[in-house]
Structures are given as structure tokens and as C-alpha cells.
Amino acid sequence: MSGTKQRVLLGMSGGVDSSVAGYLLREQGYDVVGVTMKVWPQDCISRAEDKCCGPQAVADARNVAHALGIPHYVVDEADQFERVVIDYFSSEYQAGRTPNPCVMCNEKLKFGSLWQKAQALGCEYIATGHYAIVDHHPDRAVLRKGADPRKDQSYFLFSLRQPQLRRALTPLGGMSKPEIRDIARSLGLKVAEKVDSQEICFVPGNDYKAFLRSHLGEGEFHEGGIYDLQGTFLGEHGGIELFTIGQRKGLPGGSAQPRYVVDIDPQTNRVIVGSAEDLVSEEFEIDRVNWSSRDVPDEPIEVTVKIRYSHHGTKATLFPLSADTARIELHEPQKAVTPGQAAVFYDGDVVLGGGWICRQTALVPA
């Protein structure tokens, strides 16, 4: 790390990770400016709770900044957040896909619109408390997995492009959570024991259906029928927005084997159900591919692909179809390959890139 006083804008959520990131950056010789994004709209149902988008988060971040002796600003990004993250979240469910709002927030806000604020403050870098490593080489920046496999968040950063990665600093990448908490305790930071949020910041209690009802209104749900793979009508449903691939709950009973959602057709508002075996995929296509750490390959390459954040990763062959589309052939078939989720591909611990899983052609003719 450079010993000169380069200025860095640090995104502070009020949690222990970004707080310790501020300390580490200061120790590395950076001139750190803390910024907390106010992203909650006035009607946000999680606004009163202890969320990374709530008032308590701002107070915690401000207190930490004061303890570290760094300036702290609050930036109002509520309109942008509503448009870029919440509207995307809702419209993906309406299109029969399962969204990943954290990826969108990182790309469009934290490493996107926040850059204008960083420049206005004279900052050369944007830093976050993500558990991922960004190696800065003369010709490009390379995104890698965080050292702690249980906390690695490189998946959520796959869509960052080279200009964004080049100005990204992730000081926690080589550390584990217990190390982070130990540092926070040694500094006497009140957030040292703060519990990690395991849910989407704007969805209280992880109840996305309640959030959609409040955000969209009941009249915006696409009601329709539930069918099996033979086209047999099994019952009505209250909206395709209430289902995701692999789901078991909320389906009609009366079957000898458990039923799962295997397809959601936004054209006909049909929810298609089948057995566990029907959930298995051998290949799929992705679009809006971003090659974050290398150029677009001109021939098939072997990768390890994660089809969701909690996925362990599996070997696959990637066939580039164009600059931003590809087909992925899995060496071992996987369950619940879900349209709208990100498929992120790795070479060892290096993030090569990723894309968004496309919906296949309808399993059942309308």
C-alpha cells in the first residue's frame, strides 16, 4: 500500500466491518473520509429498525468516525436507491425471476453514483467492508475471493467493471470475522459486538412477500394457475411474484412426492411444479456478462461457477456466445438454477466474471 496521503471515501454502514476498514485504511496511511448513504425512502417499512439503511446505522457510523478521528458525511441516495434497487427488485419478481439486489446496489450505487461524491471530496478510491480482495496491477485490477471462505463476498462484486475495480479498496479481504471483531474490541468501538445482518437491508424479517405487497399493492400481482409438467391444472395462485424456483411452500398437496416450483412463466402467469429430479439442470445461458478480471475468451474455458451466493461452486465449461452472453455446461447437474440470479465464474480464487441466469424456454406449452 502507498504511504502517501491518498484520500479514500469509505462507505460506512454502521457495522463492525466498515468500521474496522476505516481503522485499517487510516493505519495504512490513507486520508479517510467516511460516508453513509441514506437510502431509506420515508415510507420504507424497515426505516425504524436497526438496518444498514436506517437512522440507527447513521448514528453508529457517525460515532465510529468520531472515535477514529475521520470526517463523516451523510449522502441522500433515497431516490436513486428506489429507482435502481427497489424498483429492480420488484420488477424482477413480476417478470418471474429472482433478483439479487446486493449486486445491483454495489454496481450502481456504492461503486457507481457514489463516485461523483468521492471526486467532489477529492478522493482517489472508494473503500468498503466487503470480504473480497482487489489486487491492483499496472494493467488491470483483479478481483479475488476473500480469505475467509465462510464470509467471502466476491460474488456480490462480479459486475464491477475495470474502472470501478481500479478505484476499489477492500481492506478486510485477507482477514477473518473474529480478527475484525478483535480489532474493534481493542479500539473500544461500540459496534464490536453488533450482529451481522443476514437479510436484504430494505426487507424486514426477510419477508419479501410482505415487502412486495406494501411496495406494489395487491392489484399489481400477476395471478394465475399452478400446473404440473403434464399441463394438468392443480389450483390457483395469488401472483407469480410469490414464487421462486425450488420453492416447496404454498403449493397444492395431494401428491405422493414433494412438489417444487420448477418454472415460472411470466407470459401466461403459470407456476409449473414438478419433482426434485425436475429441478436439476445440466446447462443454462447467461446474459449481461461482465468479464471483470480478464478479456472475453475466444474459445471455451473451464471454470468453477457459483449459481447463487450460498452455492459451494461446481466445475463447468463456459462457452462464450458473444461479448456479453455465454452458455454454461455443468460437469455435475445442479438443482434450482434460478433465472434472475447471478452465475459467477472463478479460476481458483480469481473472479473471471459473471452474468445473469436466463429463463429457459417454457417447460409446458401454454
What are the Cα distances from residue 257, in Å, to 225, 248, 271? 20, 11, 18
- Give residue 36's pLDDT: 93
Mean pLDDT of all residues in 8-34? 95
Residue 129 is assigned to a ligand binding site? yes
pLDDT digits (tens, 9 = 90+) for 250-300: 888 777 789 999 999 999 999 999 999 999 999 999 999 999 999 999 999
**Contact by Cβ (8 Å): 133, 174:** yes
Mean pLDDT of all residues in 84-101? 94
Residue 14 is assigned to a ligand binding site? yes
Mean pLDDT of all residues in 237-246? 94
Closest-CA residue to 259 (of 270, 248, 250):
248
The residue written with cell numbers 406494489 in the block is: 216
In this structure, CATH architecture of domain 279-357: Beta Barrel (2.40)
Specify the DSSP class assigned to residue 237. E
Closest-CA residue to 74 (of 102, 104, 54):
54
Of 52 and 141, the one with more pLDDT: 141
- Give residue 206's pLDDT: 79
Residue 355 is assigned to a ligand binding site? no
Residue 2 is assigned to a ligand binding site? no
Residue 17 is assigned to a ligand binding site? yes
Mean pLDDT of all residues in 321-344? 96
Mean pLDDT of all residues in 218-241? 92
Residue 22 is assigned to a ligand binding site? no
- Give residue 55's pLDDT: 74
- Give residue 2's pLDDT: 44
- Give residue 363's pLDDT: 59
Residue 1 is assigned to a ligand binding site? no
Of 210 and 159, the one with more pLDDT: 159
Q: Is 221-274 CATH 3.30.200?
A: no
Mean pLDDT of all residues in 113-125? 94
In this structure, the chain runs to a length of 366
Positions marked catalytic: 105, 201
Domain with CATH 2.40.30.10 in the chain: 279-357
Mean pLDDT of all residues in 57-67? 91
Q: pLDDT category, 104, cuts 50, 70, 90? A: very high
d(CA 62, CA 256): 57
d(CA 361, CA 290): 24
Lowest-pLDDT range, 58-62, 131-135, 289-293, 361-365? 361-365
User: Does 204 have pLDDT greater than 90?
Assistant: no
Question: Pairing state of beta strands 125-127 and 7-11?
Answer: parallel
Residue 12 is assigned to a ligand binding site? yes
Mean pLDDT of the chain: 90
Half-sphere exposure (Cβ direction) of 117: Cα atoms closer than 13 Å: 21
Of 13 and 319, the one with more pLDDT: 319
Residue 274 is assigned to a ligand binding site? no
Residue 104 is assigned to a ligand binding site? no
Mean pLDDT of all residues in 45-71? 76
Domain with CATH 3.40.50.620 in the chain: 7-206
- Give residue 307's pLDDT: 97
Q: pLDDT category, 1, cuts 50, 70, 90? A: very low
Q: pLDDT category, 117, cuts 50, 70, 90? A: very high
d(CA 147, CA 336): 28
Mean pLDDT of all residues in 21-27? 96
Of 78 and 155, the one with more pLDDT: 155
Q: pLDDT category, 54, cuts 50, 70, 90? A: low
User: Does 50 have pLDDT greater than 60?
Assistant: no
Q: pLDDT category, 43, cuts 50, 70, 90? A: low
- 263 phi and psi angles, rounded to 5 deg: -160, 150
For 7-206, CATH number out of 3.40.50.1820, 3.40.50.720, 3.20.20.70, 3.40.50.620 equals: 3.40.50.620
Beta strands in the chain (DSSP E): 7-11, 31-38, 72-76, 125-127, 132-136, 141-145, 168-169, 224-228, 233-237, 260-265, 270-274, 280-290, 301-306, 314-320, 326-335, 342-347, 350-357
Percent of the chain with pLDDT over 90: 76
Closest-CA residue to 215 (of 29, 85, 53):
85
